[in-house]
Structure 1
């Protein structure tokens, strides 16, 4: 028998486009046919025999390469998903072993297929060359492949899930809850201030009327006269006026403080949002360094833009709330002069100097006793709208939702 080498390819590259993580194996493909010595000279003179054998072997080789390429693509996508989900090194090794076992099976199938292809080619040749019909051949096929690998080490790729900015997101949710609570308090105080103003003005009207009586020349006399006039009823007096005034001032001061607190809280949310973005993108950058994807800059830009989009609605809600509290504060500050005028009228009731009291009584004739333009309902409504607006952003700051939107369609997309 004489050996005739049909094909002998060593370390043949399997080129697969678009792979991010898998490094395909290399194949060595050898097909040898042992011919009867009496055929040797005939083969040399007739290239048809070699052509037929090579055609069959090439067909099997291309099919094998195609099968392995498809497996590499499937596993490459799987590895990318595993990295994004923070797979362990053990899980990564298990899947890589699975890929190589599948390739080994393909190689065994290819060896048998190549043998059958060579035998088919020989049968076809025997029909064309009747003189070869009495000869037999021996076919030997040997296909070996290197192991498929990964572009970077498994240990480097097996990362933990994203957590950059998670603390900031949690902090934002806490700030939003605090902001909603402050907005509710502001609304309640605004209504209460409106009510306190009404009580104070009603008390003032009664006591000022009594104070205008010339027979009364001291604050205690004013109080006594008022008390006698309304005996049996909850009596307006200098004391009730002063108490109502103190309540009004205290509630107004509390509301202004809470407005400042709410404004600062809303600004903290925006700062925390910037912190969230910075920490998240820093982690993305670190993970991209370990990732085999070639165009890392494009991935980073894509994720950054997607993150901005994911946070845009939340930012708008908070910014709108800031504008509302600024408008509410401006309105509330407008109450200050009205409250100041009321406090002057309260203070005048405690005048003990007879001459000053006479001047005060004369002044009452011309005093504007109409209700001061303090509208608690307006601020209360604004506070409610603000609370609903900023409160609606809570769901938008859920970390898993933000990261999912930011990573959609990127190498870290776990979908």
Structure 2
């Protein structure tokens, strides 16, 4: 018997387009036919013999390549999903072994298939060349495949779930709760200021009327006259006026401080939102460096835009709240002049100098006792709307939901 090499291909690349993670194996394919010595010279002179065997071997080789390529594509998608879901190295290794076991089985099937294909080719040739019908051949097929691998190391690709910006998201929700609480406080203070103003104005009207009586030459006499007139009733007096004035000043000061705190808290939300975005995209960038996806920049741009879209409504709600509190603060600051005027009238009631008292009484004739422009109800209604707007944004900062929207349709989409 004389050996005749039909095909001997070494390290044939299995090329598959679109793979992101799988590094396909290489195949070495050898087919050897052992011919009877009596037909060796005839075989060399007959190209048909070699062509038939080569064609049969090529068909098996092509089928084997196609089968392995399909498996590589299937496993490639699986690996991408596993990486994006934070699969462990052990899980990745298990699946990689599964791919290689499947390829080894395909190689065994191909060896047997090539042997059968060559045998059939010989049978067909014998029918065409009757003089070969008495000869026998021996067919040897050897297919060796390397192991499939991954584009980068399993350790590098087996990533943990995203956490970049999670701390900022948690802080934002805390600031939102604080902002809602501050807004409620501002609303309550505004109502208290409104009530204190009304009490003060009413008390001033009564006490100033009594103090304008020429028969009374001192504040204590004015107070006494008021007490006598309203004996047995919670009557207006210099003391009630001063108490109402103190309450009004204290509540106003508290409200201004609360407004400042609310404004600063809302600004912190936007600052933390920028921090959230920066930290999240930094983590995305780091994971993309390890990811086998080809166009990393496009993925980063896609995720950045999606994150902006996911944050847009939240940003708008918080910015709207900032605009509202600034407008309300401006309106409330205008109350200051009116409150100062009221405080001057209160202070005037404590004048004990007869000359000054006379001047005061003359001034009362021209005092404007109408309602002041202080409108606590307007502020209270405004901050209620503000609180609802900011509070409604809290759900938009839930980290898992936010990042899921940002990663939707990208290589990190775990859906």
SS of corresponding position for 1:233: coil
Cα distance in structure 2, aligned partners of 1:376 and 1:69: 74
Q: CA deviation at 1:198?
A: 0.9
Number of the residue aligned with 1:411: 411
1:82, 1:219 → 2: CA distance? 86
Which aligned pairs between 1:144-293 and structure 2 lie closer than 5 A? 144-293=144-293
Residues of 1 paired with 2:8 and 2:250: CA distance?
96
C-alpha distance after superposition, 1:270-314 (max 9, x if no partner): 111111122122222222222233333333233222222222221
Measure the CA separation in 1 of the matches of 2:132 and 2:227: 139
SS in 2 for 1:10: strand
Q: Offset of 1:319 from its aligned partner?
A: 1.1
Aligned counterparts of 1:217 and 1:119: Cα–Cα separation in 2: 136
Aligned to 1:315: 315
1:349 aligns with 2:337: no
Residue 33 (structure 1) shift: 2.2
Q: Which moved more, 1:1-10 or 1:119-128?
A: 119-128
Which moved further from structure 2: 228-237 or 324-333? 228-237
Residue 69 (structure 1) aligns with: 69
1:244 shift after superposition: 0.6
The equivalent of 2:134 in structure 1 is: 134
Unaligned runs of 5+ in 1: none
Cα deviation code 1:151-201 (max 9, x no counterpart):
222122222221111111111111111111111111111112111111111
SS in 1 for 2:414: coil
Counterpart in the other structure of 2:125:
125
Q: Map Cα deviations across residues 355-385 of structure 1 (whole Å, 9 max, x no partner).
A: 2112212222221111111111111111011
In structure 1, C-alpha distance between the alignment counterparts of 2:48 and 2:222, rounded to whole Å: 133
TM-score by length of 1: 0.96
Offset of residue 125 of structure 1: 2.4
1:91 equivalenced with 2:91 (yes/no): yes
User: Matches of 1:119 and 1:97 in 2, distance apart?
Assistant: 33
- Counterpart CA distance in 2 for 1:317 and 1:39 is 91
Q: Which SS does the other structure have where 1:413 is aligned?
A: coil
TM-score normalised by structure 2 residue count = 0.96
Q: Which segment drifts farther, 177-186 or 72-81? A: 72-81
Separation in 2, partners of 1:79, 1:33:
41
Distance 1:181 1:148 in 2: 59
SS in 2 for 1:372: coil
Q: Which residue of 2 aligns with 1:53?
A: 53
Q: Distance in 2 between matches of 1:68 and 1:326?
A: 67
- Partner of 1:31, secondary structure, is strand
Corresponding position of 2:26: 26
Give the secondary-structure state (helix, strand or coil) at the position aligned to 2:334: helix
| Count of aligned residue pairs for this structure pair | 415
Instruction: Give the SS at the match of 1:61.
Output: helix
CA distance in structure 1 between the partners assigned to 2:58 and 2:409 by the alignment: 38
- Of stretches 258-267 and 31-40 in structure 1, the one that deviates more from structure 2 is 31-40
Structure 2 unpaired stretches of 5+: none
Aligned mates of 1:361, 1:62 — CA distance in 2: 114
Q: Does 1:388 align with 2:406?
A: no
Deviation, structure 1 residue 127: 2.9
Deviation at 1:15, TM superposition (A): 0.7
